[in-house]
Structure 1
Amino acid sequence: MQRNLIGVTPGASVGAGNMTAQTKNKAYATLAAQYTLKGHELIQGNPEDGAAASYAVRFREQAEQVHHEAAATEATLLWSKSTTAASDHPYLAPDTTEAAPGAPTEPKSTQGRRRNVRRVKVAGTRDTTPALALVAHKGEARVDSRLLATGLCNKHKNVIELIERYSDDLQRFGVLPFQTEQPPNDKGGRPQKFALLNEDQSFFLLALSRNSDHVVKLKANLVMSFKQARACQDLTANEYLPGYHQLHDRAQELAAAATNPRCFHMNLNKLVNKAVGVAAGQRSIAGATTRSLLVVANTLAAKAMEDSKDHREGYQAAKKVLDGLGQLLIGGSA
């Protein structure tokens, strides 16, 4: 028997048999949220315990399991209430509508009813599941609530209301920052409020939704996005940070007599970002390929400044070599 981790055996029925479907679904959502919270607490409370992460994964799997049971319960209820359609039902009646001259028509059978036309996704058509581009907020990878709303096929207004309703629970996973931004192509009007959620917060939010096809796709995209962000952490520690410190240690030596040394460091970072094609403030969530290019750019700039006498010569030497890198990578110049 699978271990009961928080007092409820996975697969067990939630509540009494006389509960309404709406009440049962609410109970399932609450239980799934409890599993997600418990997994987070395990990792937070036992950061050095290797088993904590394993149990946290099991909690997430149990959250998924109770969602599946909720969907099965609802499907069974709907099926039990269904009846066989009468032969004269409007949806089964022959289609006698005449198409306009020259208009394309669907194939029809000899009885006049429409055939079952198989609808397939044409290669190259747009998928409604958004590409989850994470953003950096104070060095942490986060996802915009507007992207989650699109993936949930819901209005962002409703998602924000849900986030605000469960804000106390969400803040157990970390700071919950809200921001405002003017809607695109909007002349005037009220700025749009949105939230930036970390990995645990976003999965807690999704635990409150049923596992429909688009929600499952969203979860898969979210898992992959945060997985890639974590994969860059090792590269950051082993290669990126040593090269970054090498560049700025040399910059510190050259800018010793400068009026504003900090400005020299900032300008070097701008040269590196432009050569590689990284927006300001987005290094922390750059992918592995981009992070590797940052390592190369930092190393080249530090090497170019080795023989420079001051920060002015150092800047020009770094700009020259990063110009070449930028033209090679993105056809631009630093």
Structure 2
Amino acid sequence: MWLLGCAAMLVVAAMGLQAASAQPASSVPVRFGILPLGGAFESRNDWEPLLADLSRAIGRPVTMLSVTSYEALEQAIQRDQVDMAFLSGKMALDAVTLRRMNVVAQVTRHDGLPGYRALLLTRKSGDYTSLKNLLAEPEKWRIARGESRSVSGFIVPQLQLFLPNHIAMETRFRSEVVGTHQVTALAVANGEADVATNNTADFERFRLQFPAEADRLQVIWESELIPHAQIVMRREYDDTFRRKVQGFLVDYARGKGPRGDAERAVLKSLHDLAGFVAADNSSLMPAAKLAYQLARQSAMNSQWVSESARQARLQRIEATYAEQMAALRGDAPR
């Protein structure tokens, strides 16, 4: 079992996705980056059919960048190695406000809810099963959590549960495993950790893939709703191409007949998605608010050399949040 805290391995698949009959407008591929929701290879296999359909629709080759960590994907975006990406929360926010990308679509799920929930998982039996005991003595517990950029694996549990109880996830636990939602759930199921962060969507998928391990687990905490992930693309693409990509995503799996059935099967295997809806940068306002709340609460709970230093940090947080919201509204220059 690999850990996401180790050096990340990039898996780039030039997939030969374009149909022979298609005449591309350009031979330059569109490079698509994906979050490591399972393993890098698993994510690549899940996305390959959809990206093959995208390639045919836009008349251009599509290559895929599948990575083993959030950090690896963030670095690829910084190095301009990604043209489009499937991102959530903080990563999508940074891509839009810092890396000249725009939101074109947001995923939807069959439950119809506008988001999903972060979870805490423990084993059903043993000494470490109670939320009350966890909050009372976190230093006795081993935690398996997501990377610091993970919304449900770190940001939301830290913001909505741990910091309000004066617990910093990075320092208060006996030990930690940092990994994907699959890795964290397996760590608890196999006795390598006592509590894991996760989310409702990925835990559903985990139940299907690892039914025996899932049966050992229970949910002891749920967060408020978290907005679904977005598809972002570089602003350098013209509006005609952007609309073409957006139209493909919005129409995908909505048709009738064998083609629609095949596309719906693709989405079902792809984290059981229902489809995509058109979206713009304003869809990231909830993510900006979460990041702001976490930064502010962390500053309030931290120890400072002086109150003036704390206030200076709080002022920077307020300024950053104002700049982000202006950018998401379209007030700031592109």
TM-score interval w.r.t. the shorter chain?
A: under 0.3
Question: TM-score, normalised to structure 1's length?
Answer: 0.22
- More strand, by proportion: 2
Question: TM-score, normalised to structure 2's length?
Answer: 0.22
- More helix, by proportion: 1
